[in-house]
Amino acid sequence: MNLVRRTLMVLTLAAVCLTAAVPRQAEAAGRTVTVATDATWPPMEMVDANKKIVGFDIDFMNAIAKEAGFAVQFKNTAWDGIFAGLGAGRYDAIISSVTITEERKKQYDFSDPYINIGQILVVPKTEKATNLSGLKGKKVGAQIGTTGAFEIKKVQGVELKNYDEIGLAFEDMAAGRIVGVVCDEPTAAHYALQKAEYKNKFKIVGKSFTAESYGIVVKKGDKELLALINKGIKAVKAKKVDEQLRKKWLR
C-alpha cells in the first residue's frame, strides 16, 4: 500500500513538473496564435477560388509571425461579432482592416499602426453628387460597425443602410436600392475598378476623406502578445516587406 501511494505521489509530482514545463518551452519555441479575420474585405482579406484566406493582411500577419517567431492560424469570422469573439477568448488577435479608433481602444488593445488608409465614396456612374452631403435624402450603404458606417451616420439627412458584408452593399447598389457605398479605399478600388460586372456601373468619387490607420487587435491587457506583434511589425517595416505587399495587393 505504502509503495503504491509513494509511486502515485512521484508520478503526480512528475506530471505537475511536466505540465508546468511545457508552456514555458512552447513559448520559447514559438506559440501558435489564433487570428480572426473577416474574409469579405478584398483585397485586404478574402477567400480565393481555392477556399484559402488570402490578402494583404494575411500576408502581413504571416510576415510578422515569421519575424517574431510564432505560428499563425487564421479563423474566418463574421465582422459583426468579431470583437465579441475576441472578448470571449475564441481567438487571440484580430487582423481584419481594423481602424484604430478611440472607442475601440477603450475596449481592446491595438498594435502599432501598420498601414494608413481612408474612407471613400463609391456611387453609380450616373450619380452627379461629389461628396456624401450631396446624397441627402438618399440611402447610402456600408458594412455594419465599420468606420465607413460611422462616417455616413455623421452626415445629416443621409440614410445609412447597414449590411453584413460589404459585397452585399455593392450588390444592392447594382440592384438600384441604394445610391452610394462608403468603405476603405483599397476595397472600394477593388469593387469599383477591378470587378468586371461593376466596372461599367460604378465610379469612385474624389479622394478618401478620412485619415485612418489599421492595427492588430488583442484582448485588453494582453501585453505579451502585443509586444510580440509590435516587434514583428517593426522588423517587417525595417525589411520593407510591407512595401512589397503593397505592390502585390494594392495598386
Partner 1 sequence: MVDQDRVRPAVVEVGDGAAIPSKSDIGLFTAWRIAFVGAIGILVVLTITKPDPYLNILKFVPDGILVTFQVTVGAILLALVIGLVAGLGRISSNRIINGIASLYVEIIRGIPLLVQLFYIYYALGRFVHVPDMASAIIAMAVCYGAYMGEVIRAGIQSIPKGQMEAARSLGMTKGQAMRHVILPQAAKVVLPPIGNEFIALLKDSSLVSILAVADILRRGREFASESFTYFETYTVIALVYLIITLFLSKLIGIMEERISAGS
Residues that bind partner 1 (CB under 8 A): 80-81, 83-84, 87, 103-104, 107, 141, 144-145, 150, 161-164, 168-169, 171-172, 174-177
> Is the Cβ of residue 167 or residue 246 nearer to partner 1 in the bound state?
167
Neighbours of 67 (CB within 10 A): 19
**Cell numbers for 237:** 517595416
Q: With contact defined as beta carbons under 8 Å apart, do 204 and 177 qualify? A: no
Shortest distance (Å) from residue 74 CB to partner 1: 22
Shortest distance (Å) from residue 231 CB to partner 1: 28
Say how far apart CA 214 and CA 101 lie, in whole Å.
Answer: 9
Shortest distance (Å) from residue 83 CB to partner 1: 6
For residue 44, what are the contacts with CB-CB under 8 A and spacing of at least 6?
A: 55, 56, 57, 96, 97, 184, 186, 187, 249
Residue appearing with cell numbers 444592392:
172
> Is the Cβ of residue 34 or residue 162 nearer to partner 1 in the bound state?
162
> Is the Cβ of residue 177 or residue 251 nearer to partner 1 in the bound state?
177
> Is the Cβ of residue 2 or residue 200 nearer to partner 1 in the bound state?
200
Say how far apart CA 210 and CA 182 lie, in whole Å.
Answer: 11
Say how far apart CA 171 and CA 232 lie, in whole Å.
Answer: 37
Shortest distance (Å) from residue 181 CB to partner 1: 12
> Is the Cβ of residue 112 or residue 171 nearer to partner 1 in the bound state?
171
